[in-house]
Structure 1
Amino acid sequence: MTTLIKAEYAERGPVPHAVIHPVPFDRPVLAKGQALVAVLAAPINPSDVLMLTGQYGMLPALPAVGGTEGVGRVVELGPDTQGPAPGQTVLLPTGIGTWSSHVVAPAAALVPLPNEADPRQLAMLTINPPTAALLLSDFVDLQPGDWVIQNSANSGVGSYVVQLARLRGLKTVNVVRRESAVPAVVSQGADVVLVDGDGLAERVKAATGGAAITLGIDAVGGAATMRLASALADGATIVNYGALSGEACMLSPRELVFRDITLKGFWLARWFRTTPAPKQRALLGELAGLIATGKLHTPIQATYDVTRIQEAVAAAASGERHGKILVTPQHD
């Protein structure tokens, strides 16, 4: 078997790639109920980077192996263990430490996925696609033909928002922070793409023919939240799911009091904690089917073997990207 390698960190610090290192480990002896899985692909999400710097809302105990989600192929089952057969592609449990050549997981927690689908796209199933789907469905009753506006539209979640909205017959205004990000968002099927800044509301009105937009999706916070609010209809809702600016969301009394704009927050981890398992599986199954058939995908900037984890994290933390960074361990 290939040398087993995991990306481990024993401390946190302001430079995320400086605290994580590839570490070899011995092949584990499986107990009943366990499975050994070879990791095929695991993304580096913004939340993963924030765990390395200590700025995320939920931090694992140290030392820890990086990586929150991913997919793998079953190598071996423990004694007297029922589960997906060796050779089956599976979705890994969240938070298991997926930046690793191999992981040991509870066999009962492994979700079989189509073997013929691209594992790199399936690797991103657990976090960004359900976040996008729930942002579009759980806050405002949208109907085909309605408009949605989002910022950070070139992000992983933003890409899925564009695609899912299109599949549901919705139209999207997509706000990005730099001109160079526009073509990639357009290629995902966006209806309107604008660069954030002064006069956003007027530019949105011109681009949509004055459409009444009732849902704003905010990943940036700070003054960007206010600019989204200014482009919304009275009584609309903004849902914040991130703080890329590092600043608290800003809304003026005019937006809150006189225009009745509502600001809500969304955290996928809480949704997983409070949602019955059958409903979780149904959503993930629906999204896996869309990914397997090519109806949902996200651009991939680059892939790295786990031995190059420091390069991978540095690339993921860079602002100038046009796709996801994935850890794709090499296997003999």
Structure 2
Amino acid sequence: MKQARYGRRGPVPQELIEAVPFEAPPLAAGQVLVEVLAAPINPSDLLTLTGDYGILPPLPAVGGNEGVGRVAQVGRDVADLAVGQTVLLPIGSGTWATHLVADARALMPLPDGADPKQLSMLTVNPPTARLLLSEFVDLEPGAWVIQNAANSAVGGYLVQLAKARGLHTVNVVRRQSALASVLAFGGDLTLVDGDDLAARVREITDGATIALGIDAVGGPATERLAQALSPGGTIVTYGAMSGEPCTVSPASLIFRGISLRGFWLAQWFKTASPQTRAALFGELVTLIATDRLHAQIQATYGIDQIREAVAAASMGERSGKIVLLPNGE
């Protein structure tokens, strides 16, 4: 058994982590041993390694916030899970490992036969995209949404979920080479970001009303979204890929009534009822298991390649997600 562990934080995440042997503790009552099938590397994982995320585990720590596994052994008093069953791992449980021990009550059974790589990305990005579309502005079929970083994992899920709801998307990227991937997911309109973004958006949408803008970049890109929105529109920011604070001009706030909101999935988890969380994940599991919702994967790595995997995930220009397969294909 191995796990990807780190004992310090710093600016170069791949230099901080390494695969080390470990021995799983004996199972207590209500616990199970899970063989990890797949675990993605998310921006939040990288920020946790550098020390820039909102929640930081005590050190030393095992990397990985989400993933999917197969039950390998059950402890006493476990009645609802069986050996061989596919399960969603608890968020923040250190999923970059060949195996982990978890409370059986914290594991969500998943359909057998679905792609574990796609299921491994269920916990963070799909619910973020789904909630960004539903929690801030009431959108009827036919409405328009604009987002930047549209080629990101959240952006790809958002395009697919918006299309399923009959919504139209304007998808903004930061480089020409990223346009094709957004179109492949079904994005209606795609543009490369720039100072004249608002004028180009009005032209290609024929001046359509756009009430919701979704920002993952920050800095001046937030103001460019604000200018592309209709008066009274709302920007929701969920990331800062530029590393800069969101910039919105007084003119947008005062004269055009633009609102700026923030979204953090961890906070939603704290306030949502168990029934609400179950309903959301039930919806998303069905979509992923039936291949109606998916993410592009650029490359997969084994546990002994964790440094190469983290380095690949840190690269700015990627064509998809980096996924760790701790026990191989």
Q: Quickly name the TM-score band, shorter chain normalised.
A: over 0.9
Number of the residue aligned with 2:65: 68
The equivalences for 1:1-332 within 5 A come to 4-330=1-327
Contact 1:82–1:108 (CA under 8 A) maintained in structure 2: no
Tell me how far 1:27 sits from its aligned partner. 3.5
Give CA deviations for 1:309-329 in whole Å, capped at 9, x if unaligned: 000000000011010000011
For residue 273 of structure 1, give the secondary structure of its aligned residue in structure 2: helix
Partner letter of residue 204 of structure 2? A
Deviation at 1:26, TM superposition (A): 1.4
CA RMSD of aligned residues (A): 0.9
Paired with 1:45 and 1:277, the residues of 2 have a C-alpha distance of 25
Partners of 2:277 and 2:177 lie apart in 1 by 36
The whole-number CA distance in structure 1 between the counterparts of 2:212 and 2:324 is 34
Q: Could you tell me whether the CA contact under 8 Å between 1:152 and 1:220 is conserved in 2?
A: yes
Q: CA deviation at 1:331?
A: 5.5
Question: Any stretches of 5+ residues in structure 1 without a counterpart?
Answer: none
Deviation (angstroms), 1:57? 1.0
Q: Count the aligned residue pairs.
A: 329
For the residue of structure 2 that corresponds to 1:214, the secondary structure is strand
Q: 1:331 to 1:32 in 2, by over 3 A?
A: farther
Q: Name the SS for the 1:98 alignment partner.
A: coil
3-state SS, counterpart of residue 99 of structure 1: coil
TM-score (norm 2): 0.99
Runs of 4+ in 1 over 6 A off after TM superposition: none
CA contact (8 A) 1:50 1:56 kept: yes
Cα distance in 1 for residues equivalent to 2:61 and 2:204 = 47
Structure 2 segments unaligned to the other structure (5+ residues): none
Alpha-carbon displacement from aligned partner over 1:194-253 (angstroms, at most 9, x marks no partner): 000120001111111110100000001110000000000000000000011111111111
- Check conservation: 1:69, 1:98, Cα contact below 8 A: yes
Give the fraction of aligned pairs with identical amino acids, expressed as a percent.
63
Render the CA deviation track for 1:77-128: whole Å, top value 9, x for unaligned. 1123223111010000000000000010001111000111000000000000
Judge conservation of contact 2:39–2:96 (CA < 8 Å) in 1.
yes
Letter in structure 2 aligned against 1:68: N
- Supply the AA of the counterpart residue of 2:229: L
Between the aligned partners of 1:132 and 1:247, the Cα distance in structure 2 is 22
- The whole-number CA distance in structure 2 between the counterparts of 1:144 and 1:17 is 44
Letter in 1 for 2:75: G
Q: Deviations over 1:117-143 (max 9, x none)?
A: 000000000000000000000000000
C-alpha distance in structure 2 between counterparts of 1:116 and 1:162, whole Å: 25
